[in-house]
Amino acid sequence: MSKAVIAIHGGAGAISRGQLSPQREQQYVAALSAIVEKGQQMLEADASALDVVTEVVRLLEECPLFNAGTGAVFTSAEQHEMDACIMDGNLLQAGAVAGVKHLRNPILAARLVLERSPHVLLIGEGAEQFAASQGMEQVENSLFSTPERYQQLLQAREAGETRLDHDAAPLDERSKMGTVGAVALDSMGNLAAATSTGGMTNKLPGRVGDTPIVGAGCYANNASVAVSCTGTGEVFMRTLAAYDISALMEYAGLSLQEACERVILEKLPALGGSGGLIAIDREGNVALPFNSEGMYRAFAFAGDAPNVGIYSE
């Protein structure tokens, strides 16, 4: 049996050493370290991969450093619309929500869709009504707001742009980084993946990216791999990036690293796509490729010291 392992990400983009202050860098490292260690502890206690990715992404949603849950970016209408997806590699079950405004932890709503509904994806008010019927608290949309995110909206408006939160140029101390996700292999050999996001700054109300689309931003299959993506969502959707990793492994016989490089370094850039992904295959191999300057990331095997990174090594 392969050793249990978890990997997490907090977004990929124009992240360079010259743009992050040492204090801000340490905040990201500390957050990533604490959260990946929590997942590691759960795996060491024989928790399921599905439970581990659920809890780890919930913690990432609670951290205002990242663009998911608290700290989500603003739409052009000055609101927050969030998306999330979770997938169980054992039974190929998935649950997702899109465009939710009043659920503190969208990933928990996605888990409810997986376990307690006959559907895979619920959107907007319907998703919120379903979550409420299952006991989830409704919160004010302003709960997710931070002053830094509002400044990003004003800057994007002034520039006449819809932008990924990590694409501010130049990046400064007020900028916050992207989509969050987790993938895990548990002691029983099961894989799971989860992804959550606030989307793009100044996006049109109703815009949905790759995050809640099974196979685009999130995918898990015990026969191959678990994947969580971050980057230019429209291109990840057009290429079915997460599923493509699995397909290249299953049908073309590529290794995890080969499949990831084909998608992230060749297919996505050919269509103008930037970003990265985290992936764990059924053997416990880990890949964290990105074609941008950096990606907030961490991974940890059960019993080993965690590995945390931000920049291209």
Q: What is the pLDDT, as a whole number, of residue 1?
A: 61
Q: What is the pLDDT, as a whole number, of residue 234?
A: 94
Q: What is the pLDDT, as a whole number, of residue 174?
A: 37
At 52-75, the pLDDT tens digits run: 999 999 999 999 999 999 999 999
- Residue 311 inside a domain? The answer is no
Q: Select which of 54, 75, 179, 239 is catalytic.
A: 179
Q: Give 305's pLDDT tier (boundaries 50, 70, 90).
A: very high
Mean of per-residue pLDDT scores for the chain: 93
Mean pLDDT score, 290-303: 95
Q: Please write down the HEC assignment for all residues of the chain.
A: CCCCEEEEEEEEECCCCCCCCHHHHHHHHHHHHHHHHHHHHHHHCCCCHHHHHHHHHHHHHHCCCECCCCCCCCECCCCCCEEEEEEECCCCEEEEEEEECCECCHHHHHHHHHHHCCCCEEEHHHHHHHHHHCCCCECCHHHHCCHHHHHHHHHHHHHCCCECCCCCCCCCCCCCECCEEEEEECCCCCEEEEEEECCCECECCCCCCCCCCECCCEEECCCCEEEEEEECHHHHHHHCHHHHHHHHHHHHCCCHHHHHHHHHHHHHHHCCCCEEEEEEECCCCEECCECCCEEEEEEEECCCCCEEEEECC
> Is 273 within any annotated ligand binding site?
no
Mean pLDDT score, 253-257: 98
> Is 189 within any annotated ligand binding site?
no
At 80-113, the pLDDT tens digits run: 999 999 999 999 999 999 999 999 999 999 999 9
Assign residue 29 the CATH number of its domain.
3.60.20.30
- Residue 309 inside a domain? The answer is no
- Residue 142 inside a domain? The answer is yes
Number of domains in the chain: 1
- Residue 307 inside a domain? The answer is no
- Residue 152 inside a domain? The answer is yes
pLDDT at 76 over 60: yes
- Residue 89 inside a domain? The answer is yes
239 counts as catalytic: no
- Residue 253 inside a domain? The answer is yes
Domain that holds residue 93: 5-162+170-301
> Is 211 within any annotated ligand binding site?
no
> Is 210 within any annotated ligand binding site?
yes
Mean pLDDT score, 145-163: 87
- Residue 54 inside a domain? The answer is yes
